[in-house]
Chains A and B, each alone.
Chain A
Amino acid sequence: MKRLGFLALPLVTGVLAAQTPAAPAPAARDTSRQPVLSTPIPAAGTLVAVTNATIITATHGTIEKGTVLIRNGKIAAVGKDIAVPAGAQIIDGTGKYVMPGIIDAHSHSSGEAINEGSRSVTAQARMEDVLREDAIGLYRSLAGGVTTLNILHGSANTIGGQNATVKIRWGLPVDSLLFAGAPPGIKFALGENVRQTNIGNIPGRTPRYPRTRMGVEELLRESFTRAKEYQAEWKAYEDAKTLRRKGAKNADAEPIPPKRDLQLDALVEILEGKRLVHAHSYRSDEILMLLKVAKDFGFRIASLQHVLEGYKVADEIAAANTGASTFADNWAYKLEAFDAIPFNAALMAERGVKVSINSDSDERARRLYQEAAKAMKYGGASEEEAIRMITLNAAWQLGVDKLTGSIDIGKDADLAIFSGHPFAPASRVEMTLIDGRVFFDRNKAPTLEYLIELMKRRPRANTTSEGAQ
């Protein structure tokens, strides 16, 4: 086999900066990645300007022939007639459209495990423990303009595991993918998947409780009742410690701490509003059930996921200050998805719900921009509202809307640069930036076009024998 010496040289073109960036903390870990097994790490986005582009801000309209100035990974300025300092890495946006990097609020990408389905409550499991940074699905989503993912536990359990919010910093190790500053979250699930009725009884295995929707409610109440008791136990312990420390006469001997329970720890965090709940749900009745359970126990559901019947109870969802993250038009694959309508997103938005459109699949994540446009088609959502469904609204649901999700000064420079309007048919992603660094550039990406060019240049016929048989 002929060696074509592409491998050793990361292809660096004139686009990259001339200045040497002062290395921010993550760069120290960057240097441990070695060529061949890693992809060249993009230069830190210390001073970047995307110029002369149509900028879709998601918060304050669209700016024609505008510039986004990025300093140290954050958006420093956005508008027309922005002075670009000398030494900036210029990305020429002429004819291009810039929108905030797409945020997918429901992903299972890069997880080496998705469902710890052996128990109905697994709040102790953590997605960040099982991620693998080189899953090709991450790259393909990046090539579709996605910058942030909400990596969730699967929907096998009523109370699933803890989520991981990540930015797709392709090429860096897992620790560097985690979105610093993102509040922790957790997955709940209701309905058919949890009841396991679609897979039927497994021979030799006891069916797992719950098998009905009322059982799901019961399990939720049971779990949070235990969590409240655990919370009280620890409070009593802390109080006893305080008493003893203060030398109170009626203090006990050195109190024994209660057993630490990682599962109940997570549930208590939910009760205390420190952990965001993302709940997979379909039917209107189970949505209402969950909202009531949360209310009874004093916590908020951050987002309902899929929520395909959300349009039926949109007012209740809005009143609970709960977001909804749904599909554009996927339906009929399960009985509980039968009442789904493509107008779901627009109708919920109309009633005041913060709606996002998600993928729940590596495949769909690549074209969320096309999915979001469906909110305009079905139900007449405005363009800005539809853009927000894959940017700012998703950011709000994940608790990172102060950090990303729109092109505003002070936010992370997470951007997707398109060849045309993201909703127009012939548009595609040309570049994706995270923290001002170019993690995807179609001009450097291996495309089919490029592969065919290579094959044409070979003296032999149009065959490939790539890869071992």
Chain B
Amino acid sequence: MKRLMLAGAVITGATAPLAAQAPSTRPPVQPSLFAISNTTIVPVTGPRVAAGTVVIRNGKIEAAGANIATPPGATVIDGTGLFLYPGMIDSGDRMGLVEIGSVPGGQDTQELGQYNPHNAVLSAVNPSSVHVPITRANGVTTALTSAQGGMIQGWAALIDLVGWTPDEMAENGRVAMVMTYPSVGGGRGRGGFRGGQGQAGDAAETQSRQVRELYDYLREAKAYNARSNPVPRNLAFAALGPALRGEVPVIFDVQTEGQIRGVLALTDTFKLKTVLRGATESWMLADTLAARKIPVIVGPLTAVPSGDAPYDAVYAYPGVLAKAGVLIAFQTDDGGEGDARNLPYNAALATAYGLDPEEGLRAVTINPARIWGVADRLGSIEPGKVANLFLTTGDPLDVRSQVREVFIRGQRMPWNDRHTEEYLKWRSRPKP
């Protein structure tokens, strides 16, 4: 939490800063009433409002705009000189599934086996993960967390970064099915003289076989789901039902053009509601993806361009997609290195290489809300939506901005995350 005591964010009202708001037992409905006043509201879906006020009641945004009266009994937060944004949404990370990268005991990111559609990460999310308060401290209020490895990873969960239990955190515990698509093995196989040839041939064969397997698997799952009372039950196939019926999005974590084309073919065959993720070569098919209305989760921008790609290929591809009309949102793919909080800086890098800054902001707020089917609840500051908000000293995409307040589900987040606590503690160490 960057709300520094010494920098003096002005807080009025009954609560003393040190006493953290104790979240009550049953979010989101809580007796809570806040008014953030005299601030610049950036709704994202509408024009900015200068000197506006936002009222939060019982977890929702009750009102937002200029000339809004402060309800009696509300805790007032003076937003003078500050900016209010909707909480940001990270469309891909391992939130709650990994604590310390080098310690296997705390990692639940990867299960054995290639086909795990019936695995659902929500129950493995650790609500007490240190990464939760760290991440939300920079205004990232919601994360889409999922497993990795294998061909079908299973259900992803969309979680708010608040809650006593995983279920409480969940916006949607089965928000999308996560898969990948076979790629021709490890790079271009340009090793040695005869060795190079052999490798390329083997890799192509392996990929063909894997594709066949994937098609076969999905066909069987489809057939299974078409039966009215299948016995014995196959939980894996059953889990694919909603995806195969087009009821939930299917996220494909892929990179290359070849993979993307393969995904498109698969999409046609099985009539999936496809979302591409990562997809650093998707710019090659921008028009196709726009025409087919396939959203792309871009990022992380901290990935290195592959092989022969231009040096700014990863920085620039979100801009290319957006200009072509593709609906984009950002992911950090953070695997427990504290990178999820840097979601807006992914967008920032993209704006330096062609992405319109307004689109950059949308791509971390309303766009992911639309893609994940929660646009009625999240992604912008509109009355009726969930009060996921943050108050900041400037543009969230600007690294220099400091977040002063974060609200999730209308609860005011305590500032005492691990990092801020350690900072203040060691700052006060007397000189030896």
Contacts and interface: CB of A to CB of B under 8 A. Distances in A.
Given A447-B311, A452-B320, A370 B349 contact: yes
Interface in A317-366: 329-335, 337-339, 341-343, 347, 350, 362-364
A462 B284 contact: yes
A198 B102 contact: yes
Most buried by A among B317, B348, B402: B348
B351 interface: yes
21 contacts: A143-B312, A329-B342, A330-B338, A330-B339, A332-B100, A332-B101, A332-B131, A341-B419, A343-B420, A362-B304, A364-B302, A367-B349, A370-B399, A377-B400, A378-B419, A423-B399, A425-B398, A428-B353, A448-B309, A448-B317, A469-B200
Given A367-B349, A462-B287, A423 B103 contact: no
A112 to B, nearest CB: 16
Contact of A329 (B315, B338, B395, B432): B338
Given A423-B399, A425-B348, A428-B353, 19 more contacts: A140-B304, A140-B311, A333-B101, A334-B100, A335-B103, A341-B419, A343-B419, A343-B422, A347-B426, A364-B302, A377-B399, A425-B351, A426-B351, A428-B312, A450-B310, A452-B283, A464-B257, A469-B200, A469-B204
B316 to A, nearest CB: 4
Given A342-B419, A377-B2, A449 B316 contact: yes
A374 interface: yes
Interface in B174-194: 188, 190
B312 A447 contact: yes
A9 to B, nearest CB: 19
A116 interface: no
A466 interface: yes
Closest 5 CB pairs of A and B: A425-B348, A373-B399, A333-B101, A448-B316, A343-B423
Contacts of B287: 462
Contacts of B420: 343
Interface residues of B, number: 66
B425 to A, nearest CB: 9
B102 A334 contact: yes
B235 to A, nearest CB: 34
A335 B432 contact: no
Contact of B304 (A339, A363, A374): A363
B351 A333 contact: no
Q: Which secondary structure dominates where chain A touches chain B?
A: loop
B399 A333 contact: no
A311 B425 CA distance: 10
A98 B229 CA distance: 70
A42 interface: no
Interface in A446-469: 446-452, 462-464, 466-469
B69 interface: no
Interface of A: 139-140, 143, 192, 198, 311-312, 315-316, 329-335, 337-339, 341-343, 347, 350, 362-364, 367, 370, 373-374, 376-380, 419, 423-428, 445-452, 462-464, 466-469
Contact of B100 (A316, A338, A378, A446): A338
A468 B419 CA distance: 49
B131 A448 contact: no
A310 to B, nearest CB: 10
Contact of A373 (B200, B338, B400): B400
Nearest to B303: A363
B225 to A, nearest CB: 36
A335 B100 contact: yes
B397 interface: yes
B242 interface: no
A41 to B, nearest CB: 19
Given A362-B304, A380-B7, A448-B316, A425 B102 contact: no
Nearest to A363: B304
A467 B188 contact: yes
A343 B303 CA distance: 25
B310 A448 contact: yes
A139 B311 CA distance: 8
